[in-house]
Amino acid sequence: MAISNQESGFRTQEFVLNMGPQHPSTHGVYRAILTMDGEYVVDVENVVGYLHRGMEKIAEDRTYTQFIPYTDRMDYLAGILNNWGFVMTVEKAMGIEVPERAEYIRVITGELQRIASHLVMVASMALDLNGYTPWMYAFYDREKILDLFEMICGSRLTTSFMRVGGVPNDIPEGFIPKLEKFLAELPGRADDFDNVITGNEIFVGRTKGVGVLDAEAALSFGLTGPNLRASGVNFDLRKAQPYSVYDRFDFEVPLGENGDSFDRYNLRMLEIRQSARIIRQALDTIPEGDIMAKVPKVLKVPKGETYCHIEGSKGLLGFYLVSDGGTKPYRLHLHSPSFVNLGAYPKMAKGTVLQDAIASLASIDIVLGEVDR
């Protein structure tokens, strides 16, 4: 242990604080080994892997359809987006054209899922700063999204909603009025949430200028998604290279300025509103038609390699699929944004006080199911 002598001759000692794997604000079984000098964090070491299930290995022994339910166990807060990324990869490798209506349903549910995931992020960010009330507010809204998911696919969290070639269920009766009601209420609810926490003096004081990552560092650390945009880099895959039918919608990409915890938080609040805008437009223009493409019963992906990624709720969610022409992947690599984003955490947390380290951790929005896969 390092012993530092201060000017007064007063001897202080650094100590090691094991934060996790069981800790209220590590968002799962993540562990950080903190070297502390009193309240100050001197050094951080990430320890992950407590939730490692070997999904990449499992994928090698499952058919493409069988693997879909595994994907929503990765980022369990954004199951639909994970399903989407995987089926898109397989569709790209097989060259399947997805019917338009299915794409619209994917956009609607995917953006709903993005809102739900961002709601959990802002909620847990508030909670990690001991704001219990906003936490409850956000979960109240998320509950309504989960109810909508229950209507359309029968399950709430691990949805497994996408299929290779489309979606399994069409929009059920009563879904659209309920969704309209939700969309009508959402802006007001988001404003309420802002009033409770975003403008709060203590909250702003604790998050502004905390865990700053400038654009250059953010790019070097491979941050993607809201975390990258909070540093002021205008990169959103939905705009940069629109997949699915995103090129038909009019929406903005909110950007942060300072790349601090507050920007990362506030960006999610702004993105929630933009996602609602996309859903609104998708609802207005959704065409009639099939929801499934003609897909063979047994999926055989032609020999070759495919890399495909989507703009997940935490960042770029990539799938690298190597096929040998059989019914199972030869190798499937899952590139999870949380895992990469967490790599930047030591840089954010070093030199701050313990409370700031917690705020920074909350602001990068990790989901351990995705970190460890």
Partner 1 sequence: MDNINVLVDTLKEKFSSKISVSDDGQSLVVSSADIFPVLKEIKENTQYNFLADLTAVDYPERMEVVYHLMNIKDAGLIRVKALLDKSDPKIDSVVFLWDTANVMERETYDLLGVIFEGHPDLKRILCPDDFEGHPLRKDYKVEPAVRQ
Partner 2 sequence: MENFFVNIAGLIRDLIAGFGLNETLVYLAMVIVKFVAVLVFVLLNVVVLVYMERRVAGFFQERLGPNRVGPQGTLQLVMDIFKLLSKEDIVPAGADKFVYKAAAYAIFVPTILVYMVIPFGKGMNVIDLNLGLFYILAISSVTTMIIFMAGWGSRNKYSLVGGMRAIAQMVSYEIPYVFSFLGVIMLTGSLKMSTIVEAQQGVWFIVLQPIAFIVFLIAGNAEINRGPFDLPEGEQELVAGYHTEYTAGRFAMFYMAEYANLLAMAAIGATVFLGGWQGPWLPGWLWFFIKMYALVFGQMWVRWTFPRIRVDHLMHLNWKVLLPVSLANIVVTGIGIKVYQMVRMMGWW
Q: Answer with the entry of partner 2, partner 1, none that 273 interacts with (C-beta below 5 to 8 A by kind).
A: none
Distance CA 302, CA 89 (A): 12
Q: Answer with the entry of partner 1, partner 2, none that 304 interacts with (C-beta below 5 to 8 A by kind).
A: partner 1
189 phi, psi to nearest 5 deg: -65, -40
The answer to whether residues 81 and 148 touch, using CB atoms and an 8 Å cutoff, is: no
Q: How far is the CB of 364 from partner 2 (least distance, A)?
A: 15
Q: How far is the CB of 143 from partner 2 (least distance, A)?
A: 11
Binding flags for partner 2, 35-74, as an x/- string (CB under 8 A): -x-xx-----------------------------------
Q: Answer with the entry of partner 1, partner 2, none that 260 interacts with (C-beta below 5 to 8 A by kind).
A: none
Q: How far is the CB of 291 from partner 1 (least distance, A)?
A: 28
Q: Does the protein bind partner 1 through residue 16 (CB under 8 A)? A: no
Total residues interacting with partner 2, rule: CB under 8 A: 31
Query: Considering Cα of 27, then 30, then 31, then 37, what sign does the dihedral take?
Result: negative
The answer to whether residues 285 and 316 touch, using CB atoms and an 8 Å cutoff, is: no
Binding flags for partner 1, 196-235, as an x/- string (CB under 8 A): ---------------------x-xxxxx---------x-x
Q: How far is the CB of 345 from partner 1 (least distance, A)?
A: 10
Q: How far is the CB of 352 from partner 2 (least distance, A)?
A: 10
Total residues interacting with partner 1, rule: CB under 8 A: 39
Which residue number, 147 or 252, has a Cβ lying nearer to partner 2?
147
Q: β-strand 331-335 against 316-323: which pairing, if any?
A: antiparallel
Q: Who's near 349: CB < 8 A, 6+ residues apart?
A: 32, 34, 41, 44, 211, 356, 357, 360, 361
Angle at 104 between CA 100 and CA 105, to 5 degrees: 115
DSSP class per residue in 168-190:
SSPPPTTHHHHHHHHHHHHHHHH
Distance CA 60, CA 289 (A): 34
Among the listed ranges 173-181, 194-202, 213-221, 323-331, the one in contact with partner 2 (CB under 8 A) is 194-202
The answer to whether residues 30 and 366 touch, using CB atoms and an 8 Å cutoff, is: yes
Tokens encoding 191? 């404003």
Q: 156, 189, 277, 333: which one contacts partner 1 (CB under 8 A)?
A: 333
Q: How far is the CB of 22 from partner 1 (least distance, A)?
A: 17
Tokens encoding 254? 């909110």
Q: Does the protein bind partner 2 through residue 2 (CB under 8 A)? A: no
Angle at 308 between CA 66 and CA 285, to 5 degrees: 90
Q: What's CA 17's distance to the chain center, in Å?
A: 28
Q: 55, 126, 301, 349: which one contacts partner 2 (CB under 8 A)?
A: 126
Place of tokens 């007001």: 188
- Name residues contacting partner 1, limited to 36-95 (CB under 8 A): 46, 48-49, 52, 54, 56-57, 61
At 286, which helix (H) or strand (E)? Answer: none
Q: 111, 128, 236, 370: which one contacts partner 2 (CB under 8 A)?
A: 128
Q: Does the protein bind partner 2 through residue 193 (CB under 8 A)? A: no
Q: Residue numbers of the site for partner 1 (CB under 8 A)?
A: 46, 48-49, 52, 54, 56-57, 61, 217, 219-223, 233, 235, 237, 240-241, 304-305, 307, 309, 316, 318, 320, 322, 330-331, 333, 335, 339-340, 342-344, 347, 372-373
